[in-house]
Chains A and B, each alone.
Chain A
Amino acid sequence: MLLALSATAIVILALLWEVAMPALEERLRRRRARRRRLPSHPYDPGRERRAEQRARALLKSCVNAEEWEMYRDLGFLRVWGGSGEGPGGHAAEGREGAPYAYLIYPHKPIVAYVPQTGLLLSEYCVEFLDRSLQDGARLPESDDVLAKWMALTGDEHRVIASANMHLPGRQIDPQQLRRDLWRLGRWERERMRRQASRASSAGSR
């Protein structure tokens, strides 16, 4: 009797082992991958500058010409919002369906606003920290901008849901934002004027 029970227990254990082993191995593999640490280096201004140059080249290769020139000339990027309701899926009273946009600054919150009126909606504090490095190091400025751009154009709801939302003015001075929106408007008018004069001079040849 005891022998039969022992044999049954051994068979059950062996079967459980067979069933659980792949899942355990997979979990172990993921844990190892997460814990794998990349070497971190002390701060080196030359290396940071080279990193920023590479990051700028990558950003330029991903965004369109207008966006690249905007970032180069003004130091921030504008991305149009994709949801008809507004960022976070909340339709603001009296603004249903109104288009909205984001301003992306390096290592600062993403700012949502209404382009037609310049009304500032909210700040979305989001970070892209590389936790595989010991000190959770920050990306170069242009990589941070590109990460925000890719996240917003790729899956706006996901990145907005990941962010901490605050009222405008918590980290970026609203005066600076209004000044930046004014600079953006002037920059766009000048760019359109340049394009129009180039087109007319090409047409007159």
Chain B
Amino acid sequence: MKLLRMQPGHGELLLAEGDVSVPEQERELIEAFRAQLDAGMWAAVPTTTGSGRREAELVRSFDEARTAERVIFFPRAAGGR
């Protein structure tokens, strides 16, 4: 699993990468995941539906993203001008 974060002036940033079946790596992934949610980011998992359509799933916990290859964190939506 890769945890990526959109970063102004940089593009995506690799926050953490690891195998969820390895306890130590899983712990690091969970810590990095929680830190991003605590910082107010939204987490999305890009997916492909059965019909081949691409979409994203917004996840609120690590368990929801456990089987994902990558999770993309981005700033939460707020009303703009």
| Residues of A participating in the B interface, judged by any CB pair closer than 8 Å | 29-30, 33-34, 36, 38, 41, 44, 47-48, 50-55, 57-58, 61-64, 67, 109, 125-133, 137-140, 143, 146-147, 149-151, 153-155, 158-159, 162-164
Contact = CB atoms under 8 A, between A and B. Distances in A.
A189 B46 CA distance: 28
Dominant secondary structure at the B interface? strand
Contacts of B6: 55, 58, 128, 130, 139, 143, 146-147
Given A52-B11, A125-B80, 16 more contacts: A34-B38, A36-B39, A41-B9, A51-B9, A51-B10, A58-B72, A109-B80, A128-B6, A138-B8, A139-B74, A147-B6, A151-B58, A153-B54, A154-B55, A159-B77, A164-B80
A48 B8 CA distance: 8
Contact of B81 (A47, A64, A125): A125
A133 B8 contact: yes
Contacts, number: 130
> Contact residue range for chain B?
20 to 34
B22 interface: no
B9 A48 contact: yes
Interface of B: 4, 6-12, 35, 38-40, 42, 44, 46, 52-58, 72, 74-81
Contact of A163 (B54, B58, B77): B77
